[in-house]
Amino acid sequence: MGLASLLGRAALKPFAKALPPMGDTERAALEAGTVGFEGDLFAGRPDFDALRARGPNRLTDEERAFIDTEVRTLNAMLDDFAIDEARDLPAEVWQFLRDRKFFGMIIPKAHGGLGFGHFAHAAVVTRIATVNTSAAVTVMVPNSLGPAELLLHYGTGAQKAHYLPRLADGRDLPCFGLTSPYAGSDAASIPDVGVLCERDVDGRRVRGFSVTFDKRYITLAPVATVVGLAFQAVDPARPEGQRELGITCALIPVPTDGMTIGRRHRPMDSAFMNGPIRGEDVFVPMDWVIGGEARVGQGWRMLMESLATGRAISLPAVGAAMQQTALFVVNGYGQIREQFGLPIGKFHAISAITARMAADLYASDAARRYTAAALDAGEKPSLAGAILKVHLTEAGRRAVLDGMDVLGGKGIMGGPKNLLGVAYRHAPIAITVEGANLLTRSLIIFGQGAVRCHPHVLAEMKAVENNDPEALGRALLAHGGHVLRNLWGSLVHPALHGTPPIDLRAEAVMIARLSAAFALTADLAMGLLGGKLKRLELLSARLGDVLSALYLASGALWRYDVEGDPAMLPFARAAIRVQLARGADTLHELCANLPSGLLRLAAPLLLRGTRQRRPLTDKTVLALAEALRADPALVGRLCPDIGQPRAGGLRDLMDALALSVPVADELAELNGVLRRTRSLEQAAARSRDPAAALAYLRAADRVIQVDDFAP
């Protein structure tokens, strides 16, 4: 009997007790999607050649023309404040979205759609979201977790032929009902039940389900013409214990007897359509089940596999849009608004905010773009999608909060001239939907990573499940070698796999060291705590945060490499170092809270060289902010998706910045005269080009002013 077999026999029973139980729905969620570079990071062996081989992002001529023409035209139709006040998009916007097939971006041309790639889809949503979030949400839902995605992968031929052309051109507008009042984050436990039965329909006996359901928070429900629905299928004719067939997905046309669309929800008083859907004894023929009878009970796996794609695109695009808009506003407003005789952007406190926003944006948008490149290469990076969803929406929220701090009174006065107020109100929505960040961060990122990304855990779990001591022994031996390699990398020096960009070699070494320390710590935590780690959410969340920081830092390295823009090197370097500092600090917090005194004592040695006391010096921070003030092209590279709206505060700011260019060297003098005379005309008269100066001063005044209303 070999060593592997002996080891496996000895470990089989203890492992069976230590491993947490896993239901079918949890297994489907954990096994959904594919593993990419995040697996290298989890293993402690990032391969920089593999990282650099991905991408760059590419748009086809057709995709680029759509963004440059249709998206630009759409943005020019959007007035953020007017839409917010009306609580709906204008009728002409709805029609434009249908006519230009915005709802059919992911649907192939063969079915009447645009057939866009994932990066193009994300770019469209991001550019709309910089101008109006409600329009972006309206576009993203049919292209994300909705009937079209499910039909493309699982629908019958007849379902595809009927629905996809109608969804592509907007004749049908979809929504998807998953969340129930008593099953929110625990969506797999939805109480909505469909009982297998037969009914007479048009003179013939039809097999299907009688479904009773209560769904809420359903985006587009008030205007939907077809409802995607998830329910628990039950066959009462089966023996006790075998009646539950599993979660099933179906398409229900509107109207259908027994189904009602409730009154609107108003998420943070937003303008996009959202509401409840209820049904009592709604008959769902088998032809309405997505994929037909063969797909009954497979709905949860279908949803998880679809979410692996949509989660990596839609809400990360909204988060990126919030970041880009906030940075553009803070940097631009900081140049126009003066206090104490200086543009406020030159004050160090505001410079620090601007630089931090820029570093965060570079890393988060880099990770988003890298993941889109993986999607376009045919991967389904579900773990990366969860990382993006959490950390880009959180970064968006931070950016908007920072922007509100800089704007001060200007930021809290509602009206058309407000620059970030609507985004500030909308930020919690992105945090909450498609898997609340609190849940995703605490349970899913590391929980899924431990099973899918660890090079040996899944093999060990399968060996225990199959009662195979030989396979378990082989996996354990390989696991032991893995731990020793990462211990060596943590204590001495990590091996550098592949060739990183020469400009960022030092940062690549730092990524490799932190990756090795993270992998070692994850193994120690799993070995020490076993199945209990699943319930220790604070520890699990910290492990997920470290992995996320590594992923964002690696994305920044990739972005600098594929873009090849030397001017962005300071931002790339800052972005990587900020993420690694966050990851290292979190890893030290984790070790300080592990329930092992011995491990806490050993932590300083095991984590040697991972902590950066000062990721960015004050000198670096001020230099980054000054570079953004001095070179508008740098802002354009960081914020390439900023769209131009029809009217409002953002449009006023854009106009003022454009008009400042001809008189840029005179701004200090013009503002000084304006403070003394309080006359735009007198100040402009001092300029070498009075007409240009007056145009700028009037535009800047519109930016500074706020709205007032009748009492």
Closest CA to 639 of 623, 657, 621: 657
Instruction: Give residue 355's pLDDT.
Output: 97
Strand partners, 282: 211
Whole-angstrom Cα distance, residue 308 to residue 386?
8
Q: What is the pTM of this model?
A: 0.94
Across all residues in the chain, what is the average pLDDT? 91
Question: d(Cα 536, Cα 676) in Å, to the nearest integer?
Answer: 63
Q: Are 284 and 254 in contact (CB under 8 A)?
A: no
pLDDT in tens, 625-681: 999 999 999 999 999 999 999 999 999 999 999 999 999 999 999 999 999 999 999
Question: Across-strand partners of 203?
Answer: none
Q: What is the pLDDT of residues 164-193, one digit of tens each?
A: 999 999 999 999 999 999 887 776 788 999
Count CA atoms closer than 13 A to 230's CA, side-chain side.
28
DSSP string, 651-675: HHHHHHHHHHGGGGGGHHHHHHHHH
Is 442 within 8 Å of 537 (Cβ atoms)? yes
Write the Ramachandran bin of 364: left for phi over 0, alpha for psi from -120 to 50, otherwise beta. Answer: alpha
| Paired strand residues for 234 | 195, 244
Share of the chain above pLDDT 70, in %: 96
Least Cα distance to 77 among 59, 90, 61 occurs for 90
Least confident span in 321-330, 354-363, 460-469, 693-702: 460-469
Contact 418, 411 (CB under 8 A): yes
* 610-630 core/surface letters (b: 16 or more CB in 10 A; e: else): bbbeebbeeebbbbbbebbbe
297 pLDDT higher than 60: yes
Q: Which amino acid is at 558?
A: W
The most confident of 237-251, 302-316, 463-477, 517-531, by mean pLDDT: 237-251
Closest C-alpha among 688, 689, 640, 53 to residue 323 = 640
| Residues annotated as part of the active site | 434
Helix (H) or strand (E) holding 212: strand 204-219
Q: Higher model confidence: residue 3 or residue 283?
A: 283
Looking at residue 442, its pLDDT comes to 86
Helix axes 299-310, 24-31, angle to 10 degrees: 30
Residue type, 213: F
Quick one: pLDDT band at residue 21, thresholds 50, 70, 90?
A: low
- Two structure tokens written together for 493: 């020096």
Which residue has tokens 């998420």? 267
Backbone phi and psi for residue 520, each to the nearest 5 degrees, phi listed first: -65, -45
Q: Choose between 500 and 450: higher pLDDT.
A: 500
259 DSSP β-pair partners: 279
Q: H or E stretch including 6?
A: helix 3-18
C-alpha dihedral sign at 332, 337, 341, 344 = negative
* Per-position DSSP letters for 179-206, written without gaps between them: -BTTBSS-GGG---EEEEEEEEETTEEE
What domains lie within the chain, and their CATH numbers?
Answer: 3-54+452-619 (no CATH), 61-168 (1.10.540.10), 174-300 (2.40.110.10), 310-438 (1.20.140.10), 649-704 (no CATH)
Identify the CA nearest to 673 among candidates 684, 662, 661: 684
Place of tokens 């080891």: 7
Q: Please give the helix or strand (H or E) that residue 476 lies within, else none.
A: helix 469-491
Bridge-based pairing of strands 174-177 and 226-234 is parallel
Going by C-alpha positions, the residue among 312, 435, 324, 334 that lies closest to residue 382 is: 312
Contact (CB, 8 A) for 79 and 646: yes
Predicted pLDDT at 27:
63
Taking the C-alpha atoms of residue 239 and residue 44, their distance in angstroms, rounded to an integer, is 49
- Nearest-angstrom CA–CA distance, 518 and 522: 6
Least confident segment among 219-228, 236-245, 444-453? 444-453
Strand, coil or helix: what is 75? helix
Q: State yes or no: pLDDT of 605 exceeds 80.
A: no
CA gap 702, 706 in Å, rounded: 8
List the single range of 139-148, 157-166, 255-264 with lowest mean pLDDT.
139-148
Quote the CA–CA distance of 641 and 634 in Å, as a whole number. Answer: 13
3 state SS of 429? helix
- pLDDT at position 501: 95
Asked whether residue 103 carries a pLDDT value surpassing 90, the answer given is: yes
| Predicted confidence band of residue 271 (pLDDT cuts 50, 70, 90) | very high
d(CA 428, CA 270): 11
